[in-house]
């Protein structure tokens, strides 16, 4: 009796896990996002670095363009400039986005403004998708 009960529990668990995995993988594909910063070591330490920049982008995008997945590559350029190439998960590439801080090094505030502009562009793409 216990063996049968154990088999039923195992079968139910496998069914639940496989069903959830399928549902999660399609949702993850739609909303998955990745952020890569090239030459992030050039960012000022007080800015929070590459991780802080990617976190700001994720937060701004979650607010302005929920459900729009993306892959972003940010290059840190000389003279306090950033350049971003953004591709949505459905393959659309946004025009290259850039940012420069003319009078001071990049800061956490610079990251917020750049993240907001990226999120705004992703929101436009998300709106045209609907």
Domain segments of the chain as ranges: 1-31, 32-129
State the Cα–Cα distance between residues 63 and 94, nearest whole angstrom. 19
Residue with the larger pLDDT of the pair 104 and 52: 52
Secondary structure class of 72 (helix, strand, coil): strand
* Per-residue confidence band for 126, with pLDDT thresholds at 50, 70 and 90: confident
State the Cα–Cα distance between residues 103 and 110, nearest whole angstrom. 12
CATH code of 32-129, in short, is 3.30.160
Secondary structure class of 121 (helix, strand, coil): helix
Residues 6+ apart with CB under 8 A from 81: 98, 99, 100, 101
Q: Enter the pTM of the model.
A: 0.74
Could you tell me which of 78, 80, 65 has the C-alpha nearest to residue 115? 65
The tally of CA atoms less than 13 A away on the side-chain side of residue 115 is 23
Whether the per-residue pLDDT at 8 is higher than 50: the answer is no
pLDDT tens digits, 17-44: 344 333 333 344 345 899 999 999 999 9
């Amino acid at each position: 009796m216990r063996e049968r009960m154990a088999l039923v529990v195992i079968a139910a668990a496998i069914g639940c896990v496989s069903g959830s995995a399928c549902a999660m993988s399609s949702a993850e594909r739609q909303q998955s996002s990745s952020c890569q910063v090239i030459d992030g070591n050039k960012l000022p330490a007080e800015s929070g670095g590459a991780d802080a920049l990617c976190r700001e982008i994720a937060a701004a995008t979650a607010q302005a363009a929920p459900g729009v997945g993306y892959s972003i590559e940010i290059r840190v350029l000389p003279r306090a400039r950033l350049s971003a190439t953004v591709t949505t998960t459905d393959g659309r590439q946004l025009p290259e986005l850039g940012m420069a801080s003319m009078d001071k090094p990049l800061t956490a505030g610079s990251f917020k403004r750049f993240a907001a502009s990226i999120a705004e562009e992703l929101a436009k793409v998300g709106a045209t998708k609907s």
